[in-house]
Chain A
């Protein structure tokens, strides 16, 4: 077996840039969604088609990314 039909694209999900990677191994499609910075896997899914795997992973990733709060940077006490 080999990883076939490899696809990679970038998209903004929940306000954060994400990398969506999908491929097929055997009969199963896999999708991983990574945050671009720093590059951690946020969600993954598998399915019998690329669409099924990508939709499931993107949905989970969007929910998790939306929950990440951007904070107002507090004043630097060292300055």
Chain B
């Protein structure tokens, strides 16, 4: 892990096991965020808190990420202070753990890390799990003002399309990119049109992971993005359907490869694919 640009943001399952006492004492906060929101209840890493991405990592009224006040409430109730190291992990190769990581970074939490391989690796390694909910002493958390440099909104993406000044990375599956399907197989369709934002490169998020859920080597990741013309010298905007898969790719680009200007467009295809008169490209990725 030491070859990554920011290895301090990644811990192994073994490291977490070695630090279970610090998690139990409250010195470190461990948080599970899953795609399958019931997975935590099956059994989780001892001492882990469970966050529901749909209700606790999003504003449930307005379509938005958490507000500063909501972040302060969530972290305060979880017994986290601005100095507490927060380790995030989850199912499906840390898909939604990265969504949590992105939001904590937006609100300036200094020490956020991801458990490499996530829940899948922990279970497959037959490490101990617990069904007990973690109990942590609440704190009064003060978040920083949101860092606007980590997020893209629609007008900025539209400018990027017109000027081709930023690399757009579509991290959805090839079928979603081409327009063959409007949502991942088995999930509800949430947009009016299929296809992708003009000029976007298709680099599915899962290509950044090994079979065991860990991140690929820095050399493999560099090849993955550079072979599609996504390089460090220009801004990058990542998007998917609702912004969570792209937060995983955002993490890879920014913290594992060290790209300076990477933003997550969380409006993503459910915004663009529902816009009247928005330009859309269809068909498979072009080489």
Q: Cβ of B263 < 8 Å from any Cβ of A?
A: no
Known: A1-B128, A16-B185, A73-B282. 20 other contacts (CB 8 A): A2-B127, A2-B128, A16-B186, A25-B42, A35-B184, A35-B186, A37-B206, A38-B205, A41-B36, A42-B185, A42-B187, A44-B36, A64-B186, A65-B186, A67-B186, A68-B183, A71-B181, A74-B195, A76-B195, A78-B280
On chain B, the residues within 8 Å of A28 by CB distance are 42
On chain B, the residues within 8 Å of A67 by CB distance are 186
Binary flags per residue of A1-34, CB closer than 8 Å to B gives 1, else 0: 1111010000000101010000101101010101
Interface size class of A (residues with CB under 8 A): 35 or more
Supposing A40-B92, A65-B186, A78-B281 touch, asked if A4 and B126 sit within 8 A by C-beta, the answer is yes
CB closest residue in chain B, given A4: B126
Q: Cβ of A54 < 8 Å from any Cβ of B?
A: no
Do A39 and B131 touch across chains, with their CB atoms under 8 A apart?
A: no
Q: 8 Å CB contacts to A: which residues of B266-280?
A: 279-280
Q: Cβ of B283 < 8 Å from any Cβ of A?
A: yes
Q: 8 Å CB contacts to A: which residues of B32-68?
A: 35-36, 38-39, 42-43
What's the nearest-Cβ distance from chain B to residue A40, in Å? 5
Q: 8 Å CB contacts to A: which residues of B216-275?
A: 245
Q: Cβ of B285 < 8 Å from any Cβ of A?
A: no
On chain A, the residues within 8 Å of B123 by CB distance are 3, 6, 23
Closest 4 CB pairs of A and B: A42-B186, A3-B123, A64-B186, A16-B185
On chain B, the residues within 8 Å of A35 by CB distance are 184-187
Q: Cβ of B114 < 8 Å from any Cβ of A?
A: no
Interface stretch, picked from B80-88, B98-106, B149-157, B168-176, is: B168-176
Interface size class of B (residues with CB under 8 A): 35 or more
Binding site for B on A (CB under 8 A): 1-4, 6, 14, 16, 18, 23, 25-26, 28, 30, 32, 34-35, 37-44, 46, 61, 64-65, 67-71, 73-78
On chain A, the residues within 8 Å of B139 by CB distance are none
On chain B, the residues within 8 Å of A74 by CB distance are 179, 194-195, 282
Q: Cβ of B146 < 8 Å from any Cβ of A?
A: no
Do B35 and A40 touch across chains, with their CB atoms under 8 A apart?
A: yes
A65 and B174 CA atoms in complex are apart in Å by: 17
CB closest residue in chain B, given A33: B186
Do B129 and A2 touch across chains, with their CB atoms under 8 A apart?
A: yes
A-B contact pairs, 17 of them (CB 8 A): A1-B43, A1-B129, A2-B127, A23-B123, A26-B43, A37-B173, A38-B204, A38-B206, A40-B95, A40-B186, A41-B92, A44-B39, A65-B185, A71-B181, A71-B194, A74-B195, A78-B280
